Every structure is written in C-alpha cells, then in structure tokens.
Amino acid sequence: MRASHIAFFSHFGGAAILLKQVVSEIRRPPLNLRLIVEQLYQVGVMSLPLVIVTAASTGMVMALQFGLGLEKFGGKLYVPKIVSLSIVREMGPVFTCLMLAARVGAGMASEIGSMVVTQQIDAIRALGTSPIKKIVIPRVVACVIGIPILAMVANFIGIFGALLVCANDLGLDPVFFVQKVLTTLWLPDFMSGFMKTPVFALIIAVMACYFGLTVKGGTRGVGNATTVSVVTSSICVLVGDYFLTKFYWMFEQWM
Amino acid sequence: MDVIEVKNFAKSYNGRAVHKDVSFIVKKGECLGLVGGSGIGKSVILRSLIGLERADQGEIWIEGQEISRWKERDLIPIRKKVAYVFQNGALFDSMTVFDNLAYPLREHTDFDEDEIARRVRDQLEEFGLDAAIDKLPAELSGGMQKRLGLARAMMIGPKVILYDEPTAGLDPYNTLKIREMVLALKKKGVTSVFVTHDMPTAIAVCDRFCLLGDGRVVDECSVDELQENSDTPLARFIQGAGNGG
C-alpha cells in the first residue's frame, strides 16, 4: 500500500478517534452553552445569505431547465412536482451541505489550525482544560443543530425560487404551483432529505476540527489543512449521500 | 522534597533521538535553569513535564506522582498545580486581556463574576497591565504579551511554574520587568524550571543549572559553583566557548 493511501486512511482513523472523544466528553457536564450559541451564530446566521442565494438559484435554474425541457413534450405542468421533489429529497440538503463544507468547514479548519500554530490549543491544555470541550464540541453541536435548520430554509427558498420562475417564465399559475407542491410532497420525501443533514453536519464539523487540530508546518500547514478539510468533507458528503439515499429508500420500502 | 523528578527521559522525532537519557530533579522552592544550545530539546522536556508531549521512555514525577503515562483527563489536576509560561504568550487572540486572565478562574473556581473581575484587576495591576484590560492581545507589545502570559499562568496560584524563554526577544526594560516578576514569585516559594538563552537573567533568577547536550544532562551545578569554577562545560557554554554538545 502506498504512503498516500496510508495517510488517506489514517485521516479517517484520526477523525473517528476525534468523534469518539467528542461522544465521550459531551456526556460530561458542564456543556458551555455560550460557546455553542456563539458557534450557532457563526454557522447558522452568518451562513444564511450564502444558503439563500444557493438555494434560490438552484430552484430557479431547475425550474427553468425542466420547464424548457418538458415543454417540448407537453409536460410543463409537471415542473412543480419534479422540482419540489428534487429539492426536498436531494438538492436542498446536499447543496446546502456542500456550500457549508466550504464556508463553515474552511473557517473552522483555518481558525483551529491558527490556534494550533500560535500554541493556543496547547495553552488550553496547559491551563487544565480540554480543547475537545472548548473548541470541538461547540462547533460539532452548532453544526448538528444549525445545518439541518439551514437545509430546511434552503428547501423553502429553493421551492420559492422555482415558483418565481414558473410564474414569470413558464406561465404557470402560482396557486396551481403551490397546490401541486403541497399534494406532491409527503413527510417521507421531506424526511429522506432532512435526515441526511445531521450526518453531513457531523462529517463537516469533525473533519474540519480534525484537520485543524492536526496542522503542522505553520501558516502553509493551515492553508493545506483548510483545503484538505473542504475537499474531504465535500467528497464524504457526496459519497455519503448515495449510501444515505439508499438507506432511506430501503427504509421507506420497509415502512 | 523533590517537586519534579525526571528519570531516564527519552524522546525521538521522526527517528531522530532528541533526548536519550535525561534525568534531573527540582526541589521545592527551587528555580532550575535548563540551558543548552538551540534545538537541543529544552522546550520538549518542559512540555513533557505537564503532558503536552509524551515521553518515549523514562519517568516524570510531579509531587510524588508518576505522570508520564497519564491520560489527558487525569493530567488536569497536575496542570492546575503546574503552570506553563509559553515563549510567545500563547494568548487567546479572540479574547480581551480581561477574558484571558478570567479564563482559568472561570474554569477552575466557583467565584462569581464580581470576584473574578476583582481578582483579574488586582493581577493586572500587579503586572502593570491595568491600562490594557479591554484590549485584544494583538494590540499589546511583545513585553506586555509576555507579562500577560505570566499573569494568566499565575491566576489560580500554581505551585510550580515552567518558563519557556520568557525574555526571548524583549528589550532590556521588559527583560528586567520579567526578571523582577520571576524573582517575586520565587520569593513566594513557587518552584520553577527556567528554559532560556538569556544567561544574565538565568543567573539572576536560578539556583541551579542543568546543561543539556547530546540527549542528556552533561553538566549540573549551582550558581555558586558556576561562579567559582570557570572550566566546566556549563561555564564554557555561558562564555560562548561550547554548546554543551
């Protein structure tokens, strides 16, 4: 096995150990709510504009593409059904998480990496406190709470964007659009997309914290860690999406 | 009584043995100067004394407890007793001076915010930093950052302080300030290990020296012995006639 392969797997092993430490420490009170709220603000509120723009453009482009494509076969009326299902089951959660892997993941990895380089993480340890508790847990908890909420917002904004395009460019009645969306979407559709987001959030936060905490080599190391964190968590989100989709599909069949 | 005892400490990085067999003791109330050439691994030993680095071999005893194999969580009581003053201060750059000093109190005491504020203000006054209370560390000079690092390390009254080059890069005025602070702490009976290249300060504050070289302690003597005999490896190191290796 080549050294790069070993390094690749050792990163996953390292991230898994970090996750285990998070699970172990999170059970030990007290949890610092102030730090979690601070991180929720960073992850949730500060990411909102990015999520809104991404979701709106995704919904609008999908509506336009499906509308123009299906119009040739007289299927324009199916656009609300197709777009809303696509957004809620797949596009909303996955695109949101990919954007957040870049924005939030990069921010976390670089911030923590800088703290490593300037010995602030060592100082946290030297002062008898735990970097897992002070740095990692607030970020993981904030992501697991904040990212699913952002994904819900993205679903809503995406469908709203599609409605605007359907009404303005495709000539569909907005009331008809809303009726179709409401009669198409069921709880399992919503849940199959929504339930992926806490898993993706965990991947993004743990990967970012892991690569941040293992920075070596000064400022260049911080840059590398940031890049690797974004690439790895994006790949994990995309690959994980297939398996989670299959899992929820099997679950729906079983139900 | 020995507060710190290091026995046969060994540590390697990427197959290169930095320390092969280092042993020394630090008695209660004593200030031990750990000196040696650049890159010899003085900071590695210092970091190992509170578990920031793990020894490959050997033992580290702090107040009668062998801590070299302890888990991170078990080291917390040791880290409350043994403070570490980082070379660059290692201040929390997103926190103000006040919050940097309040951090150990908030973590390890049950004081209310009024009591914490009172103690932080007293400490800032003692270290001549009272005017900087609302500033961020980046807004402070190098000397002030070092003093703040020292003040933070002292917040919960440690019994032992580990100084990692506390005067490196400072002007004579700030060097003197740090020296006075270290001496004041020593008078209070605080045990310390002093890693430095600043020999005038080291001679002023330390009771005894260990010279590191070739992965072990190559010379050890008190300040008096050092001044009496100028033909020891340590004396030659101080005179610049050898690097202890």
DSSP calls for A15-61: HHHHHHHHHHHHTSSPP-HHHHHHHHIIIIITTHHHHHHHHHHHHHH
Please return the burial class of B172, using the count of CB atoms within 10 Å of its CB with bins 0-12, 13-18 and 19+: exposed
What are A129's two structure tokens? 């406190």
Q: CA B31, CA B26: separation in Å to the nearest integer?
A: 7
Q: Before B233, cis peptide (omega within 30)? A: no
Which B residues, 120 through 159, put their C-beta within 8 Å of a C-beta on chain A?
152
A23-53 pLDDT, tens per residue? Answer: 999 988 888 899 999 999 999 999 999 999 9
Residue B111 has pLDDT above 80, yes or no: yes
State mean pLDDT over A167-187: 93
Closest CB to B92: pick one of A120, A125, A126.
A120
Does B86 contact chain A (CB < 8 Å)?
A: yes
The nearest alpha carbon in chain A to B75 belongs to A128
What are B175's two structure tokens? 């060097």
Q: How does strand B208-213 pair with strand B216-222?
A: antiparallel
Q: CA B125, CA A164: separation in Å to the nearest integer?
A: 63
Give the per-residue pLDDT at B14.
Answer: 84
Residue B244 has pLDDT above 70, yes or no: no
| More confident of the two residues B206 and A253 | B206
Which A residues, 112 through 141, put their C-beta within 8 Å of a C-beta on chain B?
118-120, 122-123, 125-130
State mean pLDDT over A200-224: 94
- The answer to whether the Cα torsion of A195, A19, A127, B115 is positive or negative is positive
Q: What is the DSSP letter of B190?
A: -
Residue B135 has pLDDT above 80, yes or no: yes
Residue A1 has pLDDT above 70, yes or no: no
What are B19's two structure tokens? 């320390």
Confidence of residue A188 (pLDDT cuts 50, 70, 90): confident
Residue A4 has pLDDT above 80, yes or no: no
The reported pTM is: 0.89
Average pLDDT for chain A: 92
The percentage of residues in chain B with a pLDDT greater than 70, rounded to a whole number, is 98
Give the per-residue pLDDT at B181.
Answer: 87
